[in-house]
Structure formats: C-alpha cells, structure tokens
Amino acid sequence: MRENYDRNSISEFLNASLGKSSRYSGLAHVIQSIAQGAVRVNEQVQQAALADVLGTTGDTNVQGEIVQRLDAASSDIFVDELSNSGKVAVIGCEEIEDPVVAGRSDDHAYIVLMDPLDGSSNIDVAVSIGSIFGIWKRDLDEEVSADSLLKPGNEQVAAVYVVYGSSTVMVAATENSVQGFTLDPATGQFFLTNRDIVIPEECPYYSTNEGNFEELDVNTRQAVSDLRNGYSLRYVGSLVADFHRNLLKGGIFLYPADTKRPEGRLRLMYEANPLGFVAEQAGGAASTGYVRIMDVMPEQLHQRTPLILGNKDVVNKVVQTIGS
Ligand code: AHM
Ligand code: MG
C-alpha cells in the first residue's frame, strides 16, 4: 500500500526536530534559507531558455571553468538567502574566489560551503542538476575570517543537497538523520516525503566516467573492471543526481585520481565533504581511495579530491583494490 505521507512541511519538520536543541540553535533557519533559495533557483531551472538564463556569462571561475549564467544566478540567490538568515558568518562558494563574510555577531554561528549549481554541463540540455551545501559551526571564540572555513568534514553538523530533476527534491542530513523532501509546485513548499533514509544494502549500480578508464592507474582500472562485472552502469554527469539515485537505490560513485587529474576532479569542501556526510549518516561511506574523506585536513577552499562514495561494503572493496 502507498505510504500515507503526513505532509509535514520542511519548516514544521525542522522546528520539531531541531528547534529545541541548544546545540543546533539557528540551524533550522539556515536549512530553511537554503530551501527558500532552492525554490527560487528551481523557478529559473524550470523556465530555462524562456527566462533567458541558459548559456555562459563569458567569465571563467576560480577553477578556470566557464561560468554558466545559471551558475552565477544560483550563487547570487543562495548568498542572498544565507546572508539574510542572520545565522551564517561565512560562506564559501564554488563560483566565488574568496569567502564571503556575512556576519560577525554570536548569532552568526554557522559556516556554509556550497556548490550552488552542480552539474553545469547539464544545464542547457534539460538533464538533472542540483545544489550542494556543507554546514559547520563556527568557533565563537575566534574572529571571523577567511580561514574560519578551513575545517575538516568530520566537524560538519549538517549537509543538504537539492536535485532539480523530474521532481525537485531536497535531502537534509544531521547527525544520524537523513530526511528527504519534495517540492510541491502548487504551494512552492518542500514537504517531507522520504523519512529516515538509509542507503540500501544491495548495490545495483556503479557510476563513473568510463571515458577516463585509460587514464587510471593499474589498481584503479582493476577496481572499475570488477564493478563492471557485478553492477549496472548509471552515470548522469551531475554528481548530485548520481549520488541521489545511489542513496535511494543503492550504488557507488567514483571519480578517482587519474593521469589528467592527479588531484581528482571534484571539490573537497563543497562536493565531497557534504555528500560524504550525507552518505555516512545514511550508513554509507566516502573515501579518497586512501583515507576517509571526512578526515582530510583542508588547505584551501577550492581544493580538489578523488572521491569514492556510496555503499559502505562496496566503497571498502574498491579502496582495498586501489591500495593493493
Ligand atoms: P560542476 O560543479 O562545475 O558542475 O562540476 C562537477 C561535475 C560533477 O557534478 C560531475 O560528477 C562531474 O563534474 C562530471 O565530470 P565529467 O564530465 O568529467 O564526467
Ligand atoms: Mg559541482
């Protein structure tokens, strides 16, 4: 029988689950401001060419990548919402070279690192894209500065992502809790639809860019060959969409280091750490291939990392093969 959802709106859910905890004071506000931003970005994603938001801005970002108009618009929207929440001290963003200081009072207790529009290569072609956020608590004894956000993933207090797909969904993880919400286009509100998400033990899928196979070292090639024999390939090319499928259905995502990308392709602070946090809270795992993602000590806001992410047993098997 179809589950009877209790239509908890995201604000009702957040207030009930986080509202009374002094440890997480203000966190519900931060997540709510991300939800508000996601509603605004979703409008632009849906209107696409009609709103004239497709194509490039003509600029390149700090990573040397071409900035899409929707990358820039999403970055502006989320900086605006997070700054207005009154709870965020510093924002680090894929599209902005230096951290944005949003407030210095004790109320500004959180640090947010974000990829405002993940899957940029899919923007213009109506394929699922998303937004990713890692949330840390600020040390109130320290002055707010650009270095405030160089914290390891294991200090995250929450992580959130949004997928703008065949429906628009938002997943929010806090310690031992991963909850999924779906945007109701009629009311413009997110409602709780996937309660207490746990990554399934069965792992039907692996997701990797097979076009990079020849660039991999011998052990990583072996790991990918093993996956080919046991699992079906699914690769959208938007990390957040590939991860969301694997979280709900079971699966493993790999973007390992290779000869063209010795540092890896994905960003530690606003891609690997937040999704690694979600995976771990849902019973999964995240590794560089050698160490737990969450334990990497960051050196720079925009640093890259290899990433192996998903079902714990399969991540462990791949890590073992890579290190053998
Ligand atoms: P982006 O944040 O600029 O969109 O780049 C990250 C994206 C990920 O979403 C995705 O997993 C990866 O890049 C795809 O890379 P490739 O095209 O090399 O397979
Ligand atoms: Mg990205």
Q: What mean pLDDT do residues 35-58 have?
A: 86
Do 48 and 125 lie in one domain? The reply is yes
Q: What mean pLDDT do residues 83-99 have?
A: 95
Nearest CA owner, ligand 1 atom 11: 239
Q: Has residue 317 been placed in a domain?
A: yes
pLDDT band per the 50, 70, 90 thresholds, residue 41: very high
Q: Which residues contact 23 (CB under 8 A, 6 or more apart)?
A: none
Lowest-confidence region among 54-68, 103-117, 300-314: 54-68
Q: Is the pLDDT of residue 3 over 60?
A: no
Q: Is the pLDDT of residue 291 over 70?
A: yes
Residue numbers of the domain that contains 47 = 2-194
d(CA 123, ligand 1 centre) in Å: 12
Which residues on adjacent β-strands are paired with residue 305? 266
Do 99 and 65 lie in one domain? The reply is yes
Provide the CATH number for the domain around residue 315. Answer: 3.40.190.80
Q: Is the pLDDT of residue 48 over 80?
A: no
Q: Is 126 left (phi over 0), alpha (psi -120 to 50) or beta?
A: left
What pLDDT is stored for residue 235 in this prediction?
98
pLDDT band per the 50, 70, 90 thresholds, residue 233: very high
Domain end call among 175, 194, 213: 194
Nearest CA owner, ligand 1 atom 7: 119
Do 123 and 183 lie in one domain? The reply is yes
Do 229 and 189 lie in one domain? The reply is no
Nearest CA owner, ligand 1 atom 18: 209
CB-proximal residues (5 Å) to ion ligand 2: 115, 118
Domain end call among 166, 194, 222: 194
- Domain total in the chain: 2
Hey, which of 94, 120, 270, 309 would you mutate to test ligand 1's pocket, going by the most ligand atoms within 8 Å of its Cβ? Answer: 120
d(CA 257, ligand 2 centre) in Å: 16
- % of residues, the chain, pLDDT over 70: 98
pLDDT band per the 50, 70, 90 thresholds, residue 147: confident
pTM strictly above 0.75: yes
d(CA 1, ligand 2 centre) in Å: 37
Do 73 and 120 lie in one domain? The reply is yes
Lowest-confidence region among 15-19, 170-174, 175-179: 15-19
DSSP line for 122-179: GGGGT--EEEEEEEEE--TTSPP-GGGG---GGGEEEEEEEEESSSEEEEEEETTEEE
Q: Has residue 254 been placed in a domain?
A: yes
The residue to which tokens 């540092």 are assigned: 263
Q: Has residue 46 been placed in a domain?
A: yes
Nearest-atom number in ligand 1 for the CA of 255 is 11
Domain end call among 171, 194, 217: 194
Strands (E), the chain: 56-60, 66-68, 88-93, 96-101, 110-118, 129-137, 156-164, 168-174, 177-184, 189-194, 205-207, 232-233, 251-255, 266-267, 285-287, 304-305, 307-310
What pLDDT is stored for residue 6 in this prediction?
61
Q: Is the pLDDT of residue 4 over 50?
A: no
d(CA 115, ligand 2 centre) in Å: 6
d(CA 102, ligand 1 centre) in Å: 28
* 3-class secondary-structure state, position 206: strand
Residue type, position 131, single letter? S
pLDDT band per the 50, 70, 90 thresholds, residue 1: very low
Residues with beta carbon inside 6 Å of ligand 1?
Answer: 65, 94, 115, 118-121, 209, 237-239, 265
Cα angle value 319/179/10 (rounded, 5°): 150
Q: Has residue 114 been placed in a domain?
A: yes
Do 110 and 254 lie in one domain? The reply is no
What pLDDT is stored for residue 58 in this prediction?
77
Q: What secondary structure letter does DSSP report for 268?
A: I
What pLDDT is stored for residue 98 in this prediction?
93
Q: Is the pLDDT of residue 226 over 50?
A: yes
Cα atoms in the Cβ-side hemisphere of radius 13 Å centred on 53: 20
What pLDDT is stored for residue 19 in this prediction?
76
Provide the CATH number for the domain around residue 162. Answer: 3.30.540.10
